[in-house]
Amino acid sequence: MIKITELQKYYRTEEVETIALNKLSIEVKEGEFVAIMGPSGCGKSTLLNILGLLDDPDGGSYLFNNIEVADFNERKRADLRKHNIGFVFQSFNLIDELTVFENVELPLIYTGVPSSERVGRVEKVLDKMQIMHRRNHYPQQLSGGQQQRVAVARAVVNNPKLILADEPTGNLDSSNGNEVMELLTDLNEQGTTIIMVTHSEHDARYSHRIIRLLDGQTVMENIMI
Amino acid sequence: MIKNYIKIAWRNLVSQRLFSFINISGLAVGLAVCMMIMMYVAHEMSYDRFHENADRIFIPQQSFTMNGNTMNMEYMSYAAGEIIKQRQPVVKDYTRTMAYFKPVIASNPEKPDAKFSEKNLLFADGNFFSFFSFKLLSGSAQHVLDRPFTVVLSEDMAKKYFGDENPIGKTIVLKTDSAFTYQVAGVAENNPSNSSIKYSFVTSNQSLLQMKEAKLYTGTKDISFGNFLPYLLLNHASDTATLRRSLDLMAKQDKTFDKVHYSLSALSTTHLKSNFGDSSNLKYLKIFPLVAVLILLLALANYMNLSTARATLRAKEVGVRKVSGASRKTIAAQFYVESALFTTLSFVLGYVLCYAFKPWFLNVLQLKIDSSFLYSPMVLILLAVLFIITILIAGSYPAVILSAFKPVATLKGKMSKATGGVAVRKVFTTLQFALSVGLIICGIVIDRQLYFFRHKDIGINRDNVVMIPVHNTFGNNYNAFKQDVAQLSGIENVATSHHSMFHGYDMVSINGKTKDDITMVASWMGDDQLIKTLGLKWKYAPATGERLAGMDRLVINEAAIAKLHLPVDPVGSYLQSGDQKFKIIGVLKDFNYSSLQSEISPLILFTPPAKFPFFKRDGCNLFAKIKAHTNLPTLLGKIQSLYKKYDADTPFDYTFMDDAFNAQYQAEDRLSSIFSVFTYITIALASLGLFGLAAFTIEQRTKEIGIRKVLGASIGSINSLLSADFLKLVILSIVIASPVAWWAMHNWLQGFAYRINISWWMFAFAGMTAILTAVATVSYHALKAALANPVKSLRSE
């Protein structure tokens, strides 16, 4: 599903050039659950942003479903993203001015789903995430665990093929964290590909495979049994 | 999708009440000013365009040159219109009007005691109502004026004199020089506020021809200067050039005057061209649209400034939306919808403000605008255009800036300082303050110039002099009245003058050495007490025993000596006007008998003997010098009773000379009032802009402030650190504004012969005002940032 070859990304300031990704090559198959680990600054988040088409690489190739997307412009990336990729962030990133229902509804609006259909789909996914009773609350009225469940609901409402999770349990206590990991595992079992950046060995154990990065390069891959 | 946009915009608006209020009301004030000025300008531009044939109606104007002075005359003899029509085939039709130059006394004969003084009696040709498009509410356009002594009343007059009765066929008495009874033949709609032709009563020129005074007005049988405005209806609007050439040729053939040239002014341009009325409106018409555009741009810049200043708060939202599939275009659309919502609210509020302050604005400008005009299609279209332009501009910058946010950065809370806009904001703020400073400087200069006008020694003792117009209706009783007034206890002295002071003068032609060498000089006529009453000073006093009064003598002012090439001490020399010779018996020191806008011109003062019937025929003015500490209302009451004893019909009227003097500067006064309001608004808007800029930049420096505080910086030092940056902008704005304001005011002052010097303190005052305003505005944010707990700001990184 995803094949990156010799991917490069630099960050430049006026005097210093930092290499974030150094000719990195990774392949992720459809239906996989991959964890990416590594120390701070190793390029994990940069990789996730490029995979999520939020950022573009400075070199190398990125095949998404066998389509070269490395040189896509912003409009094309936005288009591909909204139909195929869901995001889960460490800090939830819900819009404070919108209710739970409206936050989850957002991706459906941008993919042009008619409003009659949206209600059903949002309710279904809220039900699945067990936060239906909170549908009319605003994010700041929810606990961290609940907020992250809303974020996951928003990530999956469009039935994306790929979910990118950036330290999804980072702001949660262990019991809420485990709940979120169970949700992701369920989604993966239903066929969604998941790539998750994490610092937590515990969380990484939920995945099929761990890719360890150091200085923008793969240093090790563990297959989980 | 739009629903979602509006929903979030509304929630943002409500959750950020203070910000929303500042933003909406700031824009609303700008829009209100713009709307008000737009309506005013539209009204001025729409003058006389409501006539069906407006584009084909022209007024001929004669100009001729005499001794280097060009004289323009548009009032012509009664015969002129007819002659032009007969000899010029391109003229399809014409009509003539004569606006009676003074108020008339009107009464309904059924209620003879209810007499009122009314303005705007118009004498017109029989085709007046078919030539123009004034609507008749009753009566037929062809017949209302086809007989002598029929009258058409305006709606207001019909109501005033006949109440709810049908006035048609009834009679009304109008007293001009003598009283005449007119039969009401029609009622016309009140003349629209954008009509240069004003009427309360319209009667036919035929009526005038039957009056014994008619000769005065209708005498000559050829084209010459007169009292009538001829309106010409051309076959085609494009015939003007042909007609002008042909009229010039006609003047040459007739040899009525040498070197006469004709020009034609379109009816719709006469209002703005008019030199006879108050030309101040033309000044405003040049300045106001510029001010309106500037104030609107200021308000829009503020709106954009404040909206984008709060961008960091919305950055996460933009990131989430982009991650959820929004393209840049949809984000831009969202912010456009949001701006549209804010702008709509501002527009509604602005409209309310505009209507609330309209009476004040119109009052200051001394204007009347029909309310029907304010709802006319033209005004509604202009408002719609303003609305659309406002939405387009207001939404543009926020949409571009906010939609460009990179989700990666915003979601991680790493809003870079390069988010942009700082430079743009600084430019906005600097220009706003420059405009404020400029307006303050202009305001001070205008105000000082007006003060100077009011307090300059003009060589006339104008305090405590009351001027009472006396009409020819007094008959032979004027001298008796004058004696009676002189005997009242509070009166120091009385004098007679042909004209009221500061209200014009006559012109007399003085012969030169050759036949063609004629000089026109201002002339005045008064009695032998006039010089004393006005406190005028002699340069060369008349010889002892020399009488002032006499048909063979005159007094001149100093300025006349040079202009008329007289000897240094011209007392005893002679001046000739036509075939009459006058001896110069004295020379007065120069004094400002007209506005200080112009230099003192040569003046001749005639003092006819007491028995001379001139004042009796034309009416005159009684000048009464009142003793200090006199009870004015009581004294004026006594004068009024004396007046009524001799003329019960004509209303008693009086003006203090001081007020008449000040009234000459009405245009400048109004300019000054309007200017100060514009200045306040601009300062308020500029402060809002600075408020936005301060919010934005200080928010970006939160971390720096936190670190400084951790390292031991005091609140005061942080406050001054932050304020200093903004003060630099304000000082830059002062540097930009000062020379521009100096230039503008220097040019403005050139229009006055007597003027103040622009001095440094005016700039200093304006600069200090701007600096203090800026410090007060910025301090709010600076103190807030300085007082904040540094732990918070550092943790947010």
Q: Contacts of residue A105 in chain B, CB cutoff 8 Å?
A: 4
B325–A111: do the CB atoms touch at under 8 Å? yes
Could you report the per-residue pLDDT of B315-374, keeping only the tens digit for each?
878 888 888 888 888 888 888 888 888 899 999 999 999 989 988 888 887 788 888 888
3-state secondary structure B344-366: HHHHHHHHHHHHHHHHHHHHHCC
Number of H helices, E strands in chain A: 7, 10
B8 touches chain A (CB under 8 A): yes
A91–B413: do the CB atoms touch at under 8 Å? yes
Q: Are A48 and A166 in contact (CB under 8 A)?
A: yes
Interface of A with B in 36-95 (CB under 8 A): 45, 49, 52, 54-55, 74-75, 78-79, 81-83, 87, 89, 91, 93-95
A111–B407: do the CB atoms touch at under 8 Å? no
ipTM: 0.75
Measure Cα distances from B743 to A22, A208, B438, B687 in Å: 63, 78, 11, 25
Compare CB distances from A49 to B320, B326, B408 and report the shortest one's residue. B408
Could you report the per-residue pLDDT of A127-171, keeping only the tens digit for each?
988 889 999 999 889 988 899 889 989 988 988 999 999 888 888
What residue spans define the domains of chain B?
58-273, 442-457+671-797, 472-649
Nearest chain A alpha carbon to B16: A97
A110–B406: do the CB atoms touch at under 8 Å? no
B10, B323, B341: best to mutate for the A interface, most A CBs within 10 A = B323
Q: Which residues pair with B588 in a beta bridge?
A: B538, B557
Measure Cα distances from B447 to B443, B457, B703 in Å: 6, 18, 48
Q: d(Cα B644, Cα B484) in Å, to the nearest integer?
A: 12
Evaluate if residue A35 carries a pLDDT over 50: yes
Task: Pull the structure tokens for residue B213.
Answer: 């005074």
CA distance A158 to chain B (A): 9
CA distance A97 to chain B (A): 6
Q: d(Cα A134, Cα A143) in Å, to the nearest integer?
A: 11
B328 touches chain A (CB under 8 A): yes
Q: Contacts of residue B323 in chain A, CB cutoff 8 Å?
A: 52, 54, 81, 87, 93
Q: Contacts of residue B408 in chain A, CB cutoff 8 Å?
A: 49, 54-55
Q: d(Cα A208, Cα B123) in Å, to the nearest integer?
A: 104
Q: What is the largest CA-CA distance in chain B?
A: 107
CA distance A225 to chain B (A): 33
pLDDT at residue B420, as a whole number:
55
Give 10-residue mean pLDDT values along chain B (797 residues): 79 80 88 90 88 91 72 81 88 91 85 84 92 91 89 93 91 86 93 90 88 70 82 90 86 69 84 56 74 86 79 77 83 87 93 91 84 88 92 86 77 55 78 88 90 89 90 82 91 90 84 78 90 92 88 91 89 89 93 86 89 75 91 92 86 88 81 83 83 77 75 78 86 94 91 90 92 88 79 57
A110–B330: do the CB atoms touch at under 8 Å? yes
DSSP A67-136: EE-TT--HHHHHHHHHHHEEEEETT----TTS-HHHHHHHHHHHTT--HHHHHHHHHHHHHHTT-GGGTT
Q: d(Cα A122, Cα A111) in Å, to the nearest integer?
A: 14
B414 touches chain A (CB under 8 A): no
For residue B345, give every residue at least 6 positions away whose Cβ sits within 8 Å of its Cβ, in sequence order, or none: B24, B28
DSSP B329-343: HHHHHHHHHHHHHHH
Secondary structure of residue B294 in the 3-state scheme? helix
Compare CB distances from A97 to B11, B329, B407 and report the shortest one's residue. B11
Measure Cα distances from A102 to A111, A187, B1, B5, B182 in Å: 14, 22, 12, 11, 78
- Report the candidate in B488, B705, B504, B707 with the shortest Cα–Cα distance to residue B603: B504
Q: d(Cα B173, Cα B151) in Å, to the nearest integer?
A: 10
Q: d(Cα B686, Cα B430) in Å, to the nearest integer?
A: 9
Q: d(Cα B363, Cα B351) in Å, to the nearest integer?
A: 18
Task: Pull the structure tokens for residue B556.
Answer: 């001149």
B3, B310, B317, B324: best to mutate for the A interface, most A CBs within 10 A = B324
For residue B241, give every residue at least 6 positions away whose Cβ sits within 8 Å of its Cβ, in sequence order, or none: none
pLDDT at residue B153, as a whole number:
94
Task: Pull the structure tokens for residue B562.
Answer: 């040079």
A95–B320: do the CB atoms touch at under 8 Å? yes
A141 touches chain B (CB under 8 A): no
A29-56+73-223 fold: Rossmann fold (3.40.50)
DSSP A4-34: EEEEEEEEE-SS-EEEEEEEEEEEE-TT-EE
A111 touches chain B (CB under 8 A): yes
Separation of CA B330 from chain center = 48
pLDDT at residue B753, as a whole number:
87
- Report the candidate in B405, B75, B6, B27 with the shortest Cα–Cα distance to residue B231: B75
Q: Contacts of residue B325 in chain A, CB cutoff 8 Å?
A: 78, 81-83, 107, 110-111, 158
Compare CB distances from B325 to A55, A96, A110 and report the shortest one's residue. A110
Could you report the per-residue pLDDT of B497-512, keeping only the tens digit for each?
988 888 878 888 888 8
A14 touches chain B (CB under 8 A): no
Measure Cα distances from B464 to B224, B445, B678, B786 in Å: 42, 29, 36, 62
Compare CB distances from B324 to A91, A96, A106 and report the shortest one's residue. A106
Q: Compute the Cα dihedral for B249, B255, B258, B263 and give only its sign.
A: negative
Residues composing chain B: 797
CA distance A92 to chain B (A): 9
Question: pTM here?
Answer: 0.76
Q: What phi, psi does B788 have (nearest 5°)?
A: -65, 155
Compare CB distances from A93 to B12, B316, B406 and report the shortest one's residue. B316
CB < 8 Å & 24+ apart, contacts of B476-482 = B476/B616, B477/B646, B477/B647, B478/B615, B478/B616, B478/B620, B478/B646, B479/B610, B480/B646, B481/B622, B481/B642, B481/B643, B481/B645, B481/B646, B482/B622
Q: Which residues pair with B201 in a beta bridge?
A: B121, B153
CA distance A156 to chain B (A): 11
Mean pLDDT of chain B: 85
Could you report the per-residue pLDDT of B665-688, keeping only the tens digit for each?
877 787 788 888 888 888 888 888
CA distance B1 to chain A (A): 6
B407–A102: do the CB atoms touch at under 8 Å? no
The dihedral region occupied by B459, where left means phi > 0, alpha psi between -120 and 50, and beta the remainder, is left
The dihedral region occupied by B609, where left means phi > 0, alpha psi between -120 and 50, and beta the remainder, is beta
- Report the candidate in B303, B296, B324 with the shortest Cα–Cα distance to residue B399: B303
Q: Contacts of residue A83 in chain B, CB cutoff 8 Å?
A: 325
B328–A158: do the CB atoms touch at under 8 Å? no
Measure Cα distances from B592 to B454, B559, B598, B652 in Å: 12, 11, 9, 28
Residue whose tokens read 């001379």: B612
pLDDT at residue B714, as a whole number:
76
Compare CB distances from A93 to B8, B15, B319 and report the shortest one's residue. B319
Q: Are A123 and A79 in contact (CB under 8 A)?
A: no
Could you report the per-residue pLDDT of A47-77, keeping only the tens digit for each?
888 898 888 888 899 999 999 998 888 778 8
Q: What is the DSSP letter of B225?
A: B
A147 touches chain B (CB under 8 A): no
Q: d(Cα B18, Cα B21) in Å, to the nearest integer?
A: 5
Q: Within 13 Å and on the Cβ side, how many CA atoms surround B75?
A: 13
For residue A168, give every residue at least 6 positions away whose Cβ sits within 8 Å of its Cβ, in sequence order, or none: A88, A89, A90, A148, A151, A152, A180, A181, A184, A196, A198, A203
Task: Give the strand order in the sheet containing A85-89.
Answer: A85-89, A162-166, A193-197, A33-37, A209-214, A217-223
Q: Which residues pair with A67 in a beta bridge?
A: A64
Could you report the per-residue pLDDT of A38-49, keeping only the tens digit for each?
888 788 888 888
CA distance A218 to chain B (A): 23
Residue whose tokens read 């974020």: A151
Q: Contacts of residue A78 in chain B, CB cutoff 8 Å?
A: 322, 325-328
Compare CB distances from A110 to B326, B406, B413 and report the shortest one's residue. B326
Interface of B with A in 179-238 (CB under 8 A): none
Q: Are B188 and B167 in contact (CB under 8 A)?
A: no
Q: Are A146 and A126 in contact (CB under 8 A)?
A: no
